[in-house]
Amino acid sequence: MRTASRDHRVGLLETRAVPRKDHGGGPGDQSGPLSCHSDHFLVHVEAPMATSEEPPPPPPSSGLPGGADLEEASLLAWLFRRSPPQAQPQPQPAGEAELPAYLSALSGLGLEALRREPGRLAEERAQLGAQTRALAFAHYKTFIRSAECTAQTRRGFGGIEQGLDRLLGRLPPFAETCRNFTHKAEQIAQSRRMNNLTLNRHTEILEILEIPQLMDTCVRNSYYEEALELVAYVRRLEKKHATIPVIQGIVAEVRQSTQLMLTQLIQQLRTNIQLPACLRVIGYLRCMDVFTEAELRVTFLQARDTWLRSILAAIPDGDPYVHITKTIEACRVHLFDIITQYRAIFADEEPLVPPPGQEALNESAIFHGWVLQKVSQFLLVLEQDLQRGVGGRLDSLLGQCMYFGLSFSRVGADFRGQLVPIFQRVALLTFQKATQEAVNKFQEEMNSYTLISAPALLGGSVPAAMSSAQPGTLQPPMVLLDFPPLACFLNNILAAFNDLRLCCPVALAPDVAATLEEALRQVAKVILAFHQAEVMAFSCREQGLFVQFCMAFLEDLVPYLNRCLQLLFPSAQVAQALGVPPPQLHKYGNLCCVDEHAIQEQLALVLPEKETVPPLPEEKELLPETPPLLLDSEPPASEPPASEQEAEPTGEQTSWQADGWAARIIQHEMDHLRGVLYIDKMDSNTFVNVQWATVND
């Protein structure tokens, strides 16, 4: 294989070296591979000269061989070539580096020397060719190896070219990968810088990360001042670094702890907390800036109201009296403390000019509305317990409630005026219930009562002197003992009077009298029903006993009850309450007495007619007479006369006119009825009446 390759390459060299056969190589030239290799070498030596530009056409040949003509033509072309204008200098081949020096030396030779120069060059060329041939013969293996190396090099360069193509194809992905690597490397470098910075700031970062845990610890241990400082610091962090996720998480956890702190503070207000602690809690709530001023007031009142309701709910309600007394005590003490705390914490002064952009809010109305609500709730509980019944201890409850209302007058919440209607209704309801029970019991006894058993009692058990009540005393009529139904009825009414006496408002006089009169009317109806049921079977004696029964009822029982009413409601007190003189009290009807005439009319049908006896002259002298009014001085002449209309006992209207002091007295009393005092009509400096001009007009 190596020999074939060498022959192939020699043949190629021989083909390329054919032109050198025309040029005489001397007698020692030989054909064959050796001469071919030598000629090839010469061709390669002359190759640099053939790379120059094309010379102008050479002069006609002077009979020199073809090879010499070619060399001369090449030399002339090289000598006479002209560089293109503004051409860039080209790098010279390695063989042309000595040519300028040779040409300079050649131009200095004489003619003979020039003529000998070609021969010398031919000899030198022949000598060089011989040396080359000798070198080729001596080192032919080297040339063969060089040819093989050249072929391998060519193949290697082909592979290199293919590899370069593949490399160029893979360079763009590699560049993209390099760019990704660079980007990741930059990220890693940045992360490393951040890690280094985090490591350097580890203590500070750890403090920030521990803020939620520290906040939770402060809240659970009631270190509210430190917790508020942490909240303020977290708010500043949020304003500066609101976009950092870690800061957002810290803010969220701190808000949860803040909500827990808010719940704990409000829960403290729902306990038995004193004023200093209330001040601290409200101060913390204000620092948290969660509520407005109005909302803070409402929250405080709601929390304290929750605690108060828990205290009231813990009171046992089995016994109405115990429940209401403990409720009064709890409300009086704790409600007063809450009001004191509120007034110490919040100011009720309204700003003269409300802040711009805000509506004027009457914050003091929140407190007054809450107090009114508490008072209303207490009054409701009081009325419910009173309706359930407290026995004969109504006066004690009234005293406690009045003291409760008086204590609240120091804080501007005196509600004693609202207690009066409640106790009036309860007292009246209790009296009405008692009278109705008395009527029911009387009816039950009358259903089983017979007049046959009465003679044994009438025979001598009661003296005749005791048949009527003693004057000037309030002893019950002893004659009623002969008639057990009337005695039992009177005892029940007296028990109702005794219960009413403990709490007996003067305003109840008309209602009590009307209730008692209605009860007496019902008793009269029961008596009439008894008469209708038994009249057909009455004997003469039973008829007389029945008449005595009715007379005891009309002449003993009813007048005695009227005297009891006058003792319960004295005329002087009733007149003072109405603002009228006691002698004029009869003008307002039967305010505190029972209409005996109306009751007598009910039983008139079953009673015999009574003979009327005119009064004796001595009795007429005992009737009281109204003394005349004696006046020692006269009023000013400018005082007008006064007139008054009144009703006589018979119901007829009469009028009379007075002047002078009598007119002044009439006007003074009329002013009393209208609620006007004399100080309202006088000049405080001179004590002179300044209303005469108005009266005269």
Please tell me which residue, 288 or 678, carries the higher pLDDT value: 288
Mind listing the pLDDT tens digit for each residue in 361-392? 577 788 888 888 988 999 999 888 888 887 77
Mean pLDDT of 139-158: 89
pLDDT confidence band for 62 (50 / 70 / 90): very low
Question: What integer pLDDT is reported at residue 353 of this predicted model?
Answer: 52
Residue labelled with tokens 């009457």 = 362
pTM: 0.55
Mind listing the pLDDT tens digit for each residue in 10-28? 333 333 333 333 333 343 4
From residue 335, how far is each of 125, 297, 342, 375 by CA, in Å? 140, 16, 11, 10
Question: What integer pLDDT is reported at residue 28 of this predicted model?
Answer: 40
Mean pLDDT of 122-132: 91
Under 8 Å between Cβ of 662 and 642: yes
- Counting Cβ atoms within 10 Å, is residue 677 exposed (0-12), middle (13-18) or buried (19+)? exposed
Please tell me which residue, 219 or 77, carries the higher pLDDT value: 219
Under 8 Å between Cβ of 635 and 663: yes
Task: Give me the torsion for CA of 88, 89, 90, 96, rounded to 10°.
Answer: 160
Question: What integer pLDDT is reported at residue 253 of this predicted model?
Answer: 92
Question: What integer pLDDT is reported at residue 505 of this predicted model?
Answer: 80
Which residues pair with residue 643 across a beta bridge? 657
The string over 413-424, giving b where at least 16 C-beta atoms fall within 10 Å of a residue's C-beta and e elsewhere, is: bebeeebeebbb
Mind listing the pLDDT tens digit for each residue in 519-541? 999 999 998 888 888 878 778 88
Q: Out of 74-88, 197-211, 404-418, 677-691, pick the least confident.
A: 74-88
Q: Which residues contact 459 (CB under 8 A, 6 or more apart)?
A: none
Please tell me which residue, 171 or 589, carries the higher pLDDT value: 171
Q: Which pairing describes strands 653-658 and 642-647: parallel, antiparallel, or unpaired? A: antiparallel
Q: How far apart are CA 297 and CA 367, in angstroms?
A: 8
Mean pLDDT of 671-686: 68
CA angle, residues 586, 592, 594, in degrees to nearest 5: 95
From residue 119, how far is each of 14, 69, 124, 541 by CA, in Å? 27, 15, 8, 210
Please tell me which residue, 90 or 39, carries the higher pLDDT value: 90
From residue 651, how far is each of 441, 587, 600, 608, 646 by CA, in Å? 38, 9, 20, 29, 9
DSSP 505: -
* DSSP codes, 129-140: HHHHHHHHHHTH
Under 8 Å between Cβ of 503 and 423: yes
pLDDT confidence band for 459 (50 / 70 / 90): very low
Please tell me which residue, 505 or 278, carries the higher pLDDT value: 278
Question: What integer pLDDT is reported at residue 506 of this predicted model?
Answer: 82
Q: How far apart are CA 422 and CA 416, in angstroms?
A: 10
- Counting Cβ atoms within 10 Å, is residue 561 exposed (0-12), middle (13-18) or buried (19+)? buried
CA-nearest of 385, 282, 370 to 328 is 385
Question: What integer pLDDT is reported at residue 439 of this predicted model?
Answer: 92
Tell me the backbone φ, ψ of residue 201, rounded to 5 degrees: -100, 30
Question: What integer pLDDT is reported at residue 537 of this predicted model?
Answer: 78
What average pLDDT does the chain have?
76
Mind listing the pLDDT tens digit for each residue in 275-308? 999 999 999 999 988 888 888 999 999 999 999 9
What amino acid occupies position 624? P
Mind listing the pLDDT tens digit for each residue in 159-186? 999 989 998 999 999 999 999 999 999 9
Under 8 Å between Cβ of 326 and 296: no
Question: What integer pLDDT is reported at residue 64 of this predicted model?
Answer: 43
Query: What number of CA atoms fall less than 13 Å from residue 254's CA on the CB side?
Result: 27
Under 8 Å between Cβ of 427 and 503: yes
Q: How far apart are CA 477 and CA 556, in angstroms?
A: 6
Please tell me which residue, 128 or 103, carries the higher pLDDT value: 128
pLDDT confidence band for 356 (50 / 70 / 90): low
Question: What integer pLDDT is reported at residue 266 of this predicted model?
Answer: 92
pLDDT confidence band for 103 (50 / 70 / 90): confident
